[in-house]
Amino acid sequence: MEKIFKIVLVRHGESLGNIENRFTGWLDVDLTKKGHILSYKAGMELKKLKYKFDICYTSTLKRAIKTSWAILDALNLSHIKIIKDINLNERSYGELSGMNKLEASIKYGSKNINEWLNKYDKRPPILKRNDIRLKILKKKYKNKNFPKTESLNDLLKRVLKFWKKKKKKKIKKKKNNYSCA
């Protein structure tokens, strides 16, 4: 009999970027108190549905890591392995990173913002070499290749690379056949 496994995908709880209406992408913003509570409640809902996890995959962004901690705490699964992978990071918004969404619309125009966000192959402008945001990313991701901007297609390729090459075989071997991401 073929093993069936389930994957639960969870978006991070409310972050400081959310309440400030900012494009965050790879910028490492924290959860709000409400974000932590909502994450814990998501874990309680999963507990009611009797989900069990063997392993948890998350991005390297603290808002996602802390969301995972809260969910696993609610499930009494704080002991399971958490694997952080750069390929699960949010989309890189390039020049839009850290900008308030209204200010970005004024600076670049709503039409451009909509195209960059919703067209499959359109990328926001790339971060410039001397940009402080790029320096922050270089410091955090030493010796790692990270995107300076991404289209939806770029993001899809990155996540599929993670799925196909690094995790698919490991997930198939897991006892409970569940994964938290």
56 phi and psi angles, rounded to 5 deg: -130, 130
Task: Determine whether 12 is an active site residue.
Answer: yes
Helix axes 110-118, 101-108, angle to 10 degrees: 110
Name the DSSP letter for residue 90: P
Q: Which of 14, 20, 36, 90 is catalytic?
A: 90
Task: Determine whether 36 is an active site residue.
Answer: no
98: CB partners within 8 A, 6+ apart: 22, 23, 24, 27, 133
Taking CA atoms, 140 is separated from 31, 133, 134, 152, in Å, by 18, 11, 10, 23
Q: Which of 12, 14, 36, 95 is catalytic?
A: 12
Place of tokens 């996602």: 64
> What whole-number distance in Å separates Cα of residue 87 and Cα of residue 166?
10
129: CB partners within 8 A, 6+ apart: none
Place of tokens 């897991």: 174
- Positions marked active-site: 12, 90
